[in-house]
Chain A
Amino acid sequence: MKYVDEYRDGKIARTLAAAIAAEVSPSLEYHFMEFCGGHTHAISRYGLEDLLPPNVHMIHGPGCPVCVLPIGRIDTAITLSRRPEVTLCTYGDLMRVPGSKGSSLMKAKAEGADIRMVYSTLDAVRIAEAEPHREVVFFAIGFETTTPPTALAIRFAREKGLGNFTIFCNHVLTPAAVQNILDSPDVKLLGTVKIDGFVGPAHVSTVIGAKPFRVFAKEFKKPVVVAGFEPLDVMQAILMLVRQVNQGRHEVENQYIRAVTELGNAKAQALVAEMFEVVVSFEWRGLGDVPDSALRLRAAYESFDAEKRFGLVSHPAKDNPACECGAILRGVKRPRDCKLFGAVCTPDNPMGSCMVSSEGACAAHWTYGRFREKNARVEAAA
């Protein structure tokens, strides 16, 4: 597979692994947070841990759009889907996210709600066009990467004069979340989360560019390396971060030069800015209320806003008290620190959102990495 296999080459991986091993200082511990679920997935899927020296620690960040969606918003979507006139279109990985009281979109669908999985926002527009008697709502979630496609869908719906298409907007912003983590007491005061640098977002940065991360390098003195989602991208980014730490630098470097520019995709940014505005505060699962961290439709586009059309109000809902998703999303805990992990919470029966999406830290660890604990136990016994 051209342009993919090159970035998964085992030989180059060994070369990079050797370089990382040679350059890390044995007296230092390196803690890097990969912000994105895409990186978390690549690290687990390709077994990167096996290629890193024991003093390089990867901390999984909150960059999994499904994982950070609070339960209350899932509940709202479920309520909306039960309206007889509504067809709710959603990306597949939202189907099994648990809402309150064991509910989920999958269960609502089985009970008769008209919920359809789509692969593209434009599929939702097509459904609205083909079924004019249905109120088609697109469950819009994701970071800066998925906002432009939502905006495009709205543009097409408007051009086609579709009065039956709206979105339930849950688009969130990456820099606000990074800022929130760096400002959190865990990092700033208590030191319970040690972060020496970030593997910066891949796809998000193709849209917003590398520039927005400069403030973190400067203000918080943390190196950031924007990196692609292929395993060699991540390995190279780790090497670049190790070098910055060793040399006492804290800069934004761009490993993903084949896709990311300094300023990003101006056209996409303009389209999003035309339709969306930043909301004062938005609840993130794990991070709580984060200022300036989400988008909503501007007044000129409110006819496409499902919350307005259906008078939706989201109520905060509590997570299972034993679920550690919040702490895991902040990097305070690891999946295996959660009592529910692997016991009552598995991808087949997820209690928390980190176990649902393949990008979630718990699902990635369960699906790809849990054999390591067996090995750890064997080593401990020996």
Chain B
Amino acid sequence: MNAPKSYRRKLDLANGRVDLSHGAGGRAMAQLIEDIFHRAFDNDWLRAGNDQSAFDVAAGRMVMTTDGYVVSPLFFPGGDIGSLAVHGTINDIAMAGATPLYLSASFIIEEGFPLGDLDRIARSMGEASRAAGVPVITGDTKVVERGKADGVFISTAGVGRVPPGLNFASDAARPGDVVLISGSIGDHGVAVMSKRENLAFDTEILSDSAALHGVVAAMVAAGGASIRVLRDPTRGGLAATLNELANQSDVGFQIDEEAIPLKPQVAAACEFLGLDPLNVANEGKLVAIVAPDAADVVLAAMRAHPLGLESARIGVVVEDPHHFVEMRTSFGGGRIVDWLSGEQLPRIC
């Protein structure tokens, strides 16, 4: 894949733009891959220059997941589409209690996209993947004509290994189980919205985008198979996650509004945007359904981790053939926490 060095002009990261030749399979593409992606993700697998990467697997259960990222804007307070594409896929693996091992990354880039922005996104991805200890070992690049995409779309896939004896399943919640959350809700959605063209408002809120496999490992060490289900409440927020689990486990939930961590700035932004924070996306939080006798030790393990300092017990699983998520409001009355109807916020991740 190495282009002859002597004919090569350096990529113009200051003013250059992606053009159709960067996706055409020729020297320009080779240079883009090498100078931007290989440099950002640098590892032995990529240096080998194959169209795929080989790795050994241990005996036992593996998990695999894939996710597309179309967030708008591409750069938002607390992250960007690159770090998000690493964290999101790692988290999907981690929710199985698994150790994430390897990632792939596929880029669909719009003609005219600034090379400098692409470089910034790739470097952010590289940093996120190194910080998480999960390398990007294979990838792909496509360029489409102007107007056929919006800047850049990223797909990442990942594989991970499940520790023996764990089998987290979305139908495993049982009445009496305890619901835990690893911190405040709605941060990601509000951070992204604050930079939307037609909304832009000033806030100090950062996206909570983070890789959660470290917290999960601590939880698994503490609670093991007493943990029934883990979920990261991304699109649709906590409300969607609990409603999904209620349906899949054939149970209901009784949660307590006062117990749910919520930053005052997020509450304020939701207030004037007319959103319910329960519906707003998170990218660095998890919900755990845990057997009652293990709840305290799992909660303590979450709180001992830097990404779970504000973890809280927010409710219990109850028997309910209607699968309602009921909430005691901080005002004192009861209400349902329902799925969101329609589209609250396109392209949040």
Contact B336 A46 (CB under 8 A): no
Tell me what chain B mostly uses at the interface: helix, strand, loop, or mixed. Answer: loop
Does A382 touch B at the CB level, under 8 Å?
A: no
User: CA–CA, A17 to B198, complex, Å?
Assistant: 42
Does B220 touch A at the CB level, under 8 Å?
A: no
| B320 proximity list for chain A (CB < 8 A) | 374
Does B119 touch A at the CB level, under 8 Å?
A: no
Instruction: Name which residue of chain A comes closest to B327, CB basis.
Output: A47
State whether A371 and B336 are in contact (beta carbons under 8 Å apart), knowing that A1-B267, A347-B341 are contacts in the complex.
yes
Does B199 touch A at the CB level, under 8 Å?
A: yes
Name the interface residues of B188-242: CB closer than 8 Å to any CB of A. Answer: 198-199
Does A315 touch B at the CB level, under 8 Å?
A: no
**Complex interface bits, A38-53 against B, C-beta within 8 A gives 1, otherwise 0:** 0000001111111100
Does A95 touch B at the CB level, under 8 Å?
A: yes
| A374 proximity list for chain B (CB < 8 A) | 320, 322, 324
| B330 proximity list for chain A (CB < 8 A) | 8, 10
| A44 proximity list for chain B (CB < 8 A) | 335
| B331 proximity list for chain A (CB < 8 A) | 8-10, 13, 46-48, 51, 231
Does A14 touch B at the CB level, under 8 Å?
A: yes
Does A4 touch B at the CB level, under 8 Å?
A: yes
| B324 proximity list for chain A (CB < 8 A) | 370-371, 374
Contact B268 A50 (CB under 8 A): no
Does A310 touch B at the CB level, under 8 Å?
A: no
How many residues from B make CB contacts under 8 Å with A? 24
User: CA–CA, A46 to B338, complex, Å?
Assistant: 14
**Complex interface bits, B261-303 against A, C-beta within 8 A gives 1, otherwise 0:** 0001001100100100000000000000000000000000000
User: CA–CA, A363 to B336, complex, Å?
Assistant: 12
Does B332 touch A at the CB level, under 8 Å?
A: yes
Does B4 touch A at the CB level, under 8 Å?
A: no
User: CA–CA, A374 to B336, complex, Å?
Assistant: 12
Contact A348 B341 (CB under 8 A): yes
Contact A368 B271 (CB under 8 A): no
Does B342 touch A at the CB level, under 8 Å?
A: yes
**Complex interface bits, A359-376 against B, C-beta within 8 A gives 1, otherwise 0:** 000010011111100100
Instruction: Name which residue of chain B comes closest to A377, CB basis.
Output: B322
Contact A47 B334 (CB under 8 A): yes
> What's the nearest-Cβ distance from chain B to residue A86, in Å?
19
Instruction: Name which residue of chain A comes closest to B252, CB basis.
Output: A371
List, sorted by A's number, 7 A–B pairs whose CB atoms are closer than 8 Å.
Answer: A10-B329, A13-B331, A46-B331, A48-B333, A119-B198, A348-B341, A371-B336
Q: Could you tell me which B residues sit within 8 Å of A by CB distance?
A: 198-199, 258, 264, 267-268, 271, 274, 320, 322, 324, 326, 329-336, 338-339, 341-342
Q: Could you tell me which A residues sit within 8 Å of B by CB distance?
A: 1, 4, 8-10, 13-14, 17, 44-51, 95-96, 106, 118-119, 123, 231, 346-348, 358, 363, 366-371, 374
